[in-house]
Amino acid sequence: MRLRDFDVIVAGAGAAGLMCALRAGQRGRSVLLLEHADKVGKKILISGGGRCNFTNLLSRPEAFLSANPRFCKSALARYTQHDFIALVETHRIAWHEKTLGQLFCDGSARQIVAMLLAECAAAGVDVRVAHRITDIAKADRFMVSTDHGAFSSASLVLATGGLSIPKMGATGFAHDVARRFGLALTETQPALVPLTVKVPELSGVSLDVVARLGRAGFREAMLFTHRGLSGPAILQISSYWREGQEICIDLLPDTDAASFLKERKRTRSKAELRTVLAEALPQRLAHWLAPEGTMAARRDRDLEALAARLKAWKIVPDGTEGYAKAEVTVGGIDTSGLSSRTMEARQVPGLYVIGEAVDVTGWLGGYNFQWAWSSGWAAGEAV
């Protein structure tokens, strides 16, 4: 089979890969975009309940985790959330802000994929799905072998993602290739993932909380599950959590719990403590937290102790629900080996790494898509 030559081969047609390919194509490069699945943008299609939380109005470097917190600044500054919103509006895709700066399509995530494919087509990108890469080698050029033949290029971009959601085809491919070319990796673990912890049988109970670990804190909903805890507040803090660490949860973030309980003791002395607590918390949770008995039977110091627990409920998770339930991967290809401006490997000219494969992980709520767009654009500008 005849070897096909390109200026750029992009491995992985997810968010980052599509953005990189279309930008390189717009700059006149001949681009081959390879995807091992039978269609592009699978994670885009399932995100946001099928409406794609495509970016966040509040996107900023402080919302990203990395061993080098400064690494993401250049790419995020050069292609911002406002740049992507402008692209969405150019394609007349209606969108709305849901909460905390999170932007979603009014219609379907399919519109975002269609937009990116249309941009790729306009830029002359050769998009090939169901092409599994079997080998990568480099002499003067990169040689990429697939189950549909071999291709060569001056530049190779790794955009195959991290380890999260393996049922959708996620693998450690980018990490493996990086290792082969001598790039270092930081420790990886599931992120934006439910935590497993022994909690009462309160499955389905949800409430607004502040979850804290060290200097990180998130105020959003928490959900009790049959395996532990989930909900946005827990998913957010999971990215910071490491085995054995304690998480502190404020179950009444807007309430001075001690004053509330003492006031109710004065005004509702005959009421059951559980009934009073159910004014501020879901009933099933209130019944689990509060002992039996009336308000009058509780000493002020007992109420203060209960209040302290409500404001700082401490848990030590057993673990997480793993990559199968994780939205992203924390850690990845060490940024010390990459240029923050171009995403090129410092020791391997022509090799670029973008998106989730890199040790940059965003908060929940469109931040990881913005990293994909920004890092993809940065590499697309450079290849």
* Helices (H), ranges, the chain: 15-26, 42-46, 73-78, 81-90, 110-122, 173-180, 232-238, 257-267, 273-277, 283-289, 300-311, 367-382
Tokens (6 digits) for 100? 């905390």
In this predicted structure, what is the pLDDT of residue 171? 86
* pLDDT tens digits, 51-80: 999 999 999 999 999 999 999 999 999 999
Indicate if the pLDDT at residue 1 is higher than 50.
no
Paired with 142 in beta bridges are 138, 153
**Per-residue pLDDT for 94 more than 80?**
yes
Average pLDDT over residues 309-314: 97
Residue 347: both structure tokens together:
């020791």
- Tokens 């999260």 locate to 164
Which whole number is the average pLDDT over 15-20? 98
Average pLDDT estimate for 146-169: 93
In which band, very low, low, confident or very high, does the pLDDT at 2 lie, cut at 50, 70 and 90? low
Two structure tokens written together for 233: 């507040």
Q: What are the residue boundaries of the structural domains of the chain, listed by start?
A: 4-189+327-382
Say which CATH topology domain 4-189+327-382 has. FAD/NAD(P)-binding domain (3.50.50)
φ/ψ (deg, to 5) at 73? -60, -45
Q: Give the model's confidence band at 355: pLDDT under 50 very low, under 70 low, under 90 confident, else very high.
A: very high
- Residue 69 is predicted with a pLDDT of 96
pLDDT band at 98 (very low <50, low <70, confident <90, very high): very high
Average pLDDT, the chain: 96
